Structures are given as C-alpha cells and as structure tokens.
Amino acid sequence: MKTQKLLLTFLKDSVDKPIVYHLVKDFDLITNIYRARITAEEKGSLILDITGSEENIDKGIAFIKEQGVTVDDAQKSFRWDEAVCTSCGNCLTHCPVNALHIQDTATMKVIFDSELCIDCLGCIDNCPYGACQSIFQE
C-alpha cells in the first residue's frame, strides 16, 4: 500500500466525469479529497490522496489520463517561494500540520515540507511578503 498526492486539472469537456467514483470502484483506491474547485470558465482542479497497491495506483492514474484529465504532482497547486520568504515565521501558527516549520532555533529559518501540506491555504493570507501562493487562491 502506498499513498500518492495528486493534482488533477479538468478542462471543459472533462469536468462532468465522475473520476473519483471510478478510482474507488474500479481500482479499489482509497481517496481523500483536500480541495476542489470549478471555475466559470469550466476549468476544474482537484487535489486528493489516493491510497492502494502500487499497481492499482498506476492503473488509476492511467485511467485518469485517458479521460483527458491532466495529472500533476499535487505541489503544483501550492508554491512556497523560498527566495521571497523572509523567515519571519508569521505563517507558523497558521499551518495546522507544521508543513511550514522552523529548521532549528539557532537559525530560525523557515522551511516547507510539501509532503505534510494539506492545501488548507491558511498561510497565504498570513504571509506579509506573498511567499505562499496557490492555484486555489481567490
């Protein structure tokens, strides 16, 4: 069993396809949706974890692609720009999973662990410098 986090991008002709239903039913994958959005331009985005055997995950991803849906590493939805970050740390109490955290108290450098990020976007409103960005930003 492994878990993989994905960012799916649906274009106009694929927004009405029940992809997640098929991932569960046809490929025996456990899904955990973090965030989904459909825009007025009929473009959809979905971030989810899929958990299952490696074989089923590969088959599931192949199926998604066959539906004309783009599959990316989920971190393409959220971007922490290290060059813009000043390591002030104002984000720290707004990140519930410590994806943004302090490296050590000697340097107080802020670092980002994308594996832990759940795309809650709590950091975005609370970064004074605009170092946190997401495709889900309003």
Partner 1 sequence: MKTYTEINEKIASKKAVVLTAAEIIDYVDKKGLEKAAKEVDVVTTATFGPMCSSGCFINFGHSTPKIRITEAWIDDVLAYSGIAAVDLFMGATQLRHNDPANLDYPGEFRFGGGHVIEKLIAGKELQLFALSYGTDEYPRREIRTTFTIHDLNQAIMVNPRNCYQNYNVAVNRSNRPLYTYMGMLKPNMGNVSYSSAGQLSPLLNDPLYKTIGIGTSVWLAGARGHVYAEGTQHTSDVLRSINGVPEEGAGTLALTGDMKEMDAEFIRGVSLKGYGVSMAVGVGIPIPVLNEEILKYTTIRDRDIKAQIIDYSYDYPNKTGKTLGSVTYEALKSGKISLMGKERETSSMSSYEKALKIANLLKGEIEDGTFLLTEPFKKLPVNQKMKSLFVKDGRS
Contact 27, 60 (CB under 8 A): yes
CA dist 58 and 60 (Å) reads 5
- Under the binding rule (CB under 8 A), the answer on residue 102 touching partner 1 is yes
Residue 33 DSSP code? E
Residue type, 15: V
CB of 91 to partner 1, least distance (A): 7
Among 107, 113, 114, 116, binds partner 1 (CB under 8 A): 107
- Under the binding rule (CB under 8 A), the answer on residue 81 touching partner 1 is no
Residue 101's nearest CA partner among 87, 122, 115 is 87
Residue 85 DSSP code? -
Stretch that binds partner 1, among 11-19, 21-29, 70-78, 127-135 (CB under 8 A): 127-135
Q: For residue 68, give the 3-state DSSP assignment.
A: coil
Return the number of the residue (75 or 126) whose C-beta is nearest partner 1.
126
Return the number of the residue (39 or 105) whose C-beta is nearest partner 1.
105
Residue 13, Cβ neighbours under 10 Å: how many? 10
- Under the binding rule (CB under 8 A), the answer on residue 123 touching partner 1 is no
Return the number of the residue (42 or 82) whose C-beta is nearest partner 1.
82
Q: What are the residues binding partner 1 (CB under 8 A)?
A: 86-94, 102, 105, 107-110, 125-126, 128-130
